Structure formats: structure tokens, C-alpha cells
Structure 1
Amino acid sequence: MLGLTWLQIYNCRWYRLLWVLTAWWRVRVGDWEGIEGVSKIKDGYNPATWMLEVTTSTQELILGVDFTEIYKNSDIYRRNKDLIKELSQPTPGSKDLYFPTQYSQSFTQCMACLWKQRWSYWRNPPYTAVRFFFTTFIALMFGTMFWDLGTQRTRQQDLSNAMGSMYAAVIFLGLQIGQSVQPVVVVERTVFYRERAAGMYSAMPYAFAQALVEIPYVFSQAVVYGAIVYAMIGFEWTTAKFFWYIFFLRSSAYYTSPCLA
């Protein structure tokens, strides 16, 4: 049977198999609990974790049993061997599953990756909340340092000072975003390599979704910083100049976001 992508399996409704596996797992837990000396599983405890804990070599030494031999002498083992032998023979007239492409449509892949990235960001407040806290702190600090600097426009040095305030924002915010995103990207890339090898999606839709999910966060970050600093420095209040300032900050922050990490 050819390898299936996650989206193809879902569209074929093979997720119903999970219900069968759940029922099978409950029976297997009951069989293991029936062995003398094996501790009972607690309510709400992960069955996989419990199975790993009770079948260790240390537990075998304590109980004086060999779980491998117990399994080989059980009816489950014999039924599984018969089932494997039966399923190893293809049904007459059956064919291997075939799909014309390795992946689903690019748009479908991108939407699935975007949905995943959105939940990943939403469930990671240590990353998203700290970004906004640090942005507000830096905005208040720079606004205090360059207080009312925008009203001083008579000398060339005044213009250089104003440009320096924008340059400092790029340096500090860029470093903060770049450093805080590294642990997130490391975890995401580990998952990405595994899922790409499994044929879930290709690299381009994943990268596009990762860049796209950053837009609302970077834009909000630029608005928070820009509104505070623009008011405290005292730049000229015109709609065009204010939005050009926000656009510059947004572009600089987006350049250092996870889309390039």
C-alpha cells in the first residue's frame, strides 16, 4: 500500500479507526492489570505512559516475571499471528491505493498548516505575551530617552537624533524578536522534518503559512510601539507620516520574525 498523507487519510474518513483502536486498548489494559503484582492504572492517566512504566525491566525483576513470555503464551498473541497471516494475503481483485500527486493541493496544505500555526501561537503565551510586554517596555524607555525630540528640527544633528531613535528601535526589537523566536522555531522545525518525511505537506506551503501567521502579531506589535513612541517623541501628527512610521516599524519587525528564522 502506498503511503498516505494526513489530509488524504482524513478525507477518506479513516479516522474512524481510532475508535476501534481505543476499544482494543481498553481490553489490553485489562489484560495487563490481571497479571499479579501489576499496579492498576489511575483514572485519567495516559495508558501509553502506564504501559511503559509497568513493563520495564526493573518491574520484571521486582515481580519475577517475563512479560515477553507471558505475551507469547497468551491467546492474544495467537490471535494476532493468525490475523497478520490473514491480512497479509490481498483480497482477489484488489489494487494498491494510488494518488496522482504526492501531496494535496497547495492551498489545502497551506490552510492546514495555517490552522496548525494559529493554534500553536495561541497556546504559547510565554512567547506571544512576552513579545508585547517587552515591546511596551522598550517603547516607554525610548519615549522617555528621546522625549520631545521630534519638535527639534532646526539642526542636522536633530534629524540624526530622530533617525537614531528609529535605528535603535530596529536593533532592540529585532534582537528581542530574533532571540525569543529561536526556541519556538527549533521545536517547529523538528515537527516539520518529521511531518514532511511522512508526506503530510511540502515545504513551500508550510513556510508560507508560518510567515502569514506572523502578520497580525507583528502589525499589533508595531502599532503598540509606534503609537507610544510617536506621541512621546513628539513627531509631527499627520496621517501620512504616522502611517509611514508604522509601516517602517512593521517591515523591520517582520524582517526579524520567524519567517526568516
Structure 2
Amino acid sequence: MNQDDMPIGDIEDPKSAVESTEKTMDSRTSSTKFGSGGGAKGDLVWSGMNLKLMDKKNKGNVKLDILKDVWGKAEVGKTTAIMGASGAGKTSLFQVLTGRLPTQGDLVQEGEIFLGGVRVDPRDREHRKLFGYVAQEDALHETSTPREALRFSAKLRLPRTTSDEEIEALVTKKLRALGLEDAADTIIGGGFKKGISGGQKKRVCIGVELIASPTIIFLDEPTSGLDSYAAAQVMQLLDDVAKEGNIVLFTIHQPSSKVFNSFDNLILLNKGQVMHQGAVDNIGADYKAAGFPMPENYNPADWVIDVSEMNDIDDLKKTTFFASEPKDHKIIPVKGEKLEVPDSKHVSAFTELKYLLSREFRDIKRNPLMTVINVTITSILAAIFGIMFWDVGRKDRAEFVVVQAILGSLVNIMISTLFGQSNSAITIFARDRPLFLREYSTDHYTIVPYFLSKLGSEMFNAFAAVFAQALVVYWMMGFTMGFGNFLAITYAMSLVSTAVCVMLGAFFANPENATALFTLVVVPQLYFSGVFISIDLLPDLVQWAQYVCSLTYTSRLALAYELQNCEPGLAAQNCEDTLARNNVNIDDIWWYWLALLGLFTAFRLVAMIVLRSKANY
């Protein structure tokens, strides 16, 4: 492996560094298998949990009780599963406990959550430092390796005083504990390239959270999409994590009997209420006492769900199910007592940007396909335009038809740039959006460094495409403006169009929705910019739209640079007439550049604000 391929934070001899710093890391975290840093200080307890959907039309009235008087406990050193049929409320309870309930004005949340007898607010970013959260979807950086993924998380989440050698030792230790040593330096993979297995990806997701030594591990459907062997491996890993003195709480759907029997405790919800909770070892006796003995050779996970689904809830409430919250379960917090949160000084924004940029450009290097496709398609379209408008810039402009052809060539190139760079931007942003939401919510980095790093990779990809385009069409068409001017205009067009795509991608998680709206946003530019119809002929009501169209300014810049120095005589007259008809003022060139800069900045700021609001649960 050469120096350019070396992962982020690599040192010259990782093996020797691991050996020399293993003892140091044990003293800084713990000598346990996962180095959890002491484990949880007490059980996670929730009491009187209610979640109500209010009626918008009839204010004050409850439209739906999503959760009703829910109570429960996740114990230190044990794994606790939340189960329930579809609509039982397990996802809602999990979102409340993890602080990831979407912010909506018509949702009212009640109840208290305690950790070790101290009140905790999972929506507080400081309190979240105690939590590790593994989503159902494996939101991982596809071109990274498991080692790089854990190192990246460690670099940005551990105290800034942690040295590279210490981080390397910790990462190696985690990989060993996760059973990922053999796959440590294999690409994680995804849609573009095959990588590690699904079970290994899930263990990487867990490892990325364990690297920050949380005391509570939340997992949403940790065995989803895994085969029985991989699911059993993941459950064994979670059991090991719990036995280190941590709290492990997860939702799960239709587990196998083997997976079900690996839980310590079960919380079963039915229509937003706690139907049953207790030790899995006692499930047979508990259900028998309630009048529902488990048949032989029956998956207990299926049986508990079948009982809740096949029986009326009012009948079930006449049994030992749906027990009320015990009085001794409710906790009276000590006045003035605060939650103990690790005081870790986060790395600087510059360091965040450094590692984010390094990952972005490593992604381009390892997965150049998107860039190659974009450059290839752009070059082919440029060659087609070059043939259509061959040598048009060198022809006699005394003929008005030649000036019209120059206008057509420039406008077509701008439109091609506008649409061509947008498709690539929407695809890449949609792919990376889940990764950002996971990393931002777990305090990997702040919003500004992330956007700057994405901008860096987008600028590189856009420049590669427009530079290839300029090399093809500039000399084929014979433009008289400087090559630098032509390149700068098309580059500005591509950057503003990608800014629009990023803004739409921030609003919509589904790339198809963003693409559909992009068409609605961009197509009107063809008309409001004045390139096909004079602005003066548009209704007064919509003439203002020209000022928010990037095509307005790029087409005017291109025309200004190309037609401002035509030969004296009839050629100069034709050029001046064309500039006037298209509302181009040579003296306003710098204003056009400033307008493009303003649009670019505005779209990026809106995207940043929207995406940040989406990540703040």
C-alpha cells in the first residue's frame, strides 16, 4: 500500500504501535473486552410514558393514543428486547427512549426517563454522549474499510488529547472483539462494489458506536436482513457487550427461536400498552399462568405475537397481562442531582473538515465510476454540440444568422451543463444522506465542516466534467472569448445547479422526489431567463423570476464575453442588437458574477439549514 492509499490516521507501523500502546489504552478506558469505560451507573427506567396524536381540527382533543401509560426497565448487564405486532407502538417507544421522535406540533409526549435514578433527556445532545445508536439500515461509508470506519469515529468522537497511537490500539482492540480482524481492511462495499457480508456490516455499525464507550446501546432491528447464522453472531456480540456492564436495548421483529432465547428480558407491546415484560426464561410459565400455555415445538417469538394478535385486548386484560406500573417502579429523583456525562473536549471544526475531506477524496479515488461516467457523458454531448455548431464562432458575423447560431450554441451548452451536472449531484447526495443523519446525530461533526467537505468533492467532480466539455467544444465551435472565461462560466453554471440539487436533496430523502421537483424548479428557467422569449414579452407578474434563474446570468455572461468585440461595421451592429434583445449590458458583467455567487450561497445555506433541522430529532 502506497502513501496515497494509506487510510486516515495511519502510522508507519500500526502493529508496533498497537503493542506499545495497548497498556496505555487499558488504563484510559478499561481492561475489559470492549473497553466500555466502566459501564452504566444504573438501570434505564421509564415511567408513565404517553404519546398522543392531537386532533388539529378540534384543539385539545386526542385523535390517537400511540403510547398509553407505558413503563419499563432495561437492566445493566442484560439484553432487553422490545417486541410487538405492527402498530403495537414498539417503534414509537424506541424513538422516545432514543430521543429520535420526529418533531411535530401535533405530537404530545409525556413521561419520565431515568438512568441510575437520575433524570435523563435523550433529546439533550450532552446526554446523548452516554448513548450509542445503531439504526436498522446499515448507514456506512461504502468505500471505507471497517478499520477506517472505526478510526474515523474514534478520531472525531474521542477527546482531542487522544493520540493517533492510542486510537490505533483501541481500533485494533475493537476489531478483535467484534470478530472483524480478517475483514478489517476490506472495503465495506454497497451498490457500486461488493464488500463485506451483511453480518459483518452490522458488527461494523455496532463497533462504530462502541468506539465512543457509551453506557447504553440502542439498536433498531439489529438482525434485520441477516441469515440465522449472522443473526446469532450479532446477538452473541450484544450479549458480550451487555455483560461488560452496559445496557443493551433493541427492537426486533419475528426473531428465530434461537435468537429469541438469547435475550435476557422481553418487553411486549400491544396497541401502545405494555402487555407483558419480564425474563425470557420465564416466558413459558408466565404465559401458562395467563391461560395461554405454549404449544410444543412452537417458536416462542411467534407465540407471544400470535396471542396478542388473535385475542381481543379486553379479554387479555382480564388475565395477568397488562399489569399496572408497580409503585416501587416509579423513581423520585434526588433534587439537584445531575447526570454524569463524560467531559470530553471535541476536536476542532478544522479537524472535522480535514478528516471529512480526506474521506471524500478517498471515496473519489476508490470509486471513480461516477466521475468517469459524468465526464464521459458530458464529453459525448459536447462533441455532438461541437459537430452541430462546427466553427460557428469563426464565421462572418456580418450575417445575422451566424450571430443567432452563436447565441444558440452558447445557450445549448449552458442548458446541457445545467441538467448534466444535476443528475450526478442528486444521486450522490441521496446516497450519502442517511450516513450524514447517523453521524451528525451521534456528534461526529458539526454541519458546516460536512457541507464544506461535500462542496469540495462536488467542485472536483464538476470541474472534471466542465473542463472536459470545454476542451471539446471551445475549439470545435471556434469561440473568440478567452478559454478561461468560457470555463469559468460553465463551471459557475454547474456549481449553482448542484447547489439547487443539494437543497432539494435536503428536503427529500427519496431521490426520485428530489429529481421530480428539480425538473419543476429548473425547466421554467428556460423561459424566465429570456433565452427563448424576450423578458419584455413576459407578463409583469412573472418577470421577477429572471433574477433567481442561474441561466439568466450565465447566458448573459457568455453572450457578453463572446459578442463584445465583434468586427466593426455590420458585424458589430448585429452583435450589439443581439446583446440588447437579450438584455445584456456589458457594464453589468460583474453584477452577473455577483448574482451567481448570491444564488449559489443562498441555495447552500437553505440546504444546510433544512438538513440540520432534519437531523435534530
TM-score between the two structures when normalised by the length of structure 1? 0.68
Equivalent in the alignment of 1:145: 388
* 1:233 CA displacement: 1.1
Pairing 1:169–2:380 present: no
Pairing 1:9–2:158 present: yes
Call closer, same or farther: CA 1:154–1:213 in 2, change over 3 Å.
same
Matches within 5 A, 1:1-261: 3=129, 6=154, 7-9=156-158, 11=160, 12=162, 13-14=166-167, 16-25=169-178, 48=203, 50-52=229-231, 57-58=255-256, 60=258, 66-68=261-263, 97-99=342-344, 103-152=346-395, 153-236=397-480, 241-257=482-498, 261=502
Q: Provide structure 1 residue ranges, at least 5 long, that are not aligned to the other structure.
A: 27-43, 74-94
Q: Secondary structure at the match of 1:154?
A: coil
Call closer, same or farther: CA 1:184–1:147 in 2, change over 3 Å.
same
| Counterpart Cα distance in 2 of 1:203 and 1:118 | 19
* 1:18 CA displacement: 3.9
> Aligned letter for 2:490?
L
Q: Secondary structure at the match of 1:250?
A: helix
User: Once structures 1 and 2 are overlaid, which stretch shifts more, 173-182 or 3-12?
Assistant: 3-12
Contact 1:222-1:246 within 8 A present in 2 as well: yes
* 1:186 CA displacement: 0.9
Percent identity reads 18
* 1:53 CA displacement: 6.2
Contact 2:425-2:501 within 8 A present in 1 as well: no
Contact 2:157-2:443 within 8 A present in 1 as well: no
Q: Deviations over 1:154-208 (max 9, x none)?
A: 2344223212212211212221221232221112121111111111111111111
> Aligned letter for 2:365?
W
Q: Secondary structure at the match of 2:498?
A: coil
| Counterpart Cα distance in 2 of 1:241 and 1:249 | 13
* 1:108 CA displacement: 1.1
> Aligned letter for 2:342?
L
Call closer, same or farther: CA 1:151–1:173 in 2, change over 3 Å.
same
Call closer, same or farther: CA 1:218–1:23 in 2, change over 3 Å.
closer
| Counterpart Cα distance in 2 of 1:51 and 1:197 | 27
Q: Which structure is higher in RCO with an 8 Å CA cutoff and minimum separation 6?
A: 1
Call closer, same or farther: CA 1:18–1:151 in 2, change over 3 Å.
closer
| Counterpart Cα distance in 2 of 1:115 and 1:123 | 12
Higher helix fraction (1 or 2): 1
> Aligned letter for 1:9?
L
Contact 1:210-1:258 within 8 A present in 2 as well: no
Equivalent residues, number: 214
Contact 2:389-2:409 within 8 A present in 1 as well: yes
> Aligned letter for 1:230?
Y
| Counterpart Cα distance in 1 of 2:168 and 2:438 | 20
| Counterpart Cα distance in 1 of 2:159 and 2:500 | 28
> Aligned letter for 2:390?
W
Q: Provide structure 2 residue ranges, at least 5 long, that are not aligned to the other structure.
A: 1-39, 41-125, 131-152, 180-195, 204-225, 236-253, 265-279, 282-339, 503-617
Contact 1:110-1:205 within 8 A present in 2 as well: yes
> Aligned letter for 1:133?
T
| Counterpart Cα distance in 1 of 2:449 and 2:392 | 44
User: Once structures 1 and 2 are overlaid, which stretch shifts more, 213-222 or 188-197?
Assistant: 213-222
* 1:147 CA displacement: 0.9
Q: Alpha carbon RMSD of aligned pairs, Å?
A: 3.4
| Counterpart Cα distance in 1 of 2:463 and 2:175 | 44
* 1:128 CA displacement: 1.0
| Higher Rg | 2
Call closer, same or farther: CA 1:53–1:247 in 2, change over 3 Å.
same
Contact 1:117-1:213 within 8 A present in 2 as well: yes
Call closer, same or farther: CA 1:158–1:25 in 2, change over 3 Å.
closer
* 1:123 CA displacement: 3.1
| Counterpart Cα distance in 1 of 2:500 and 2:159 | 28
Contact 1:214-1:258 within 8 A present in 2 as well: no
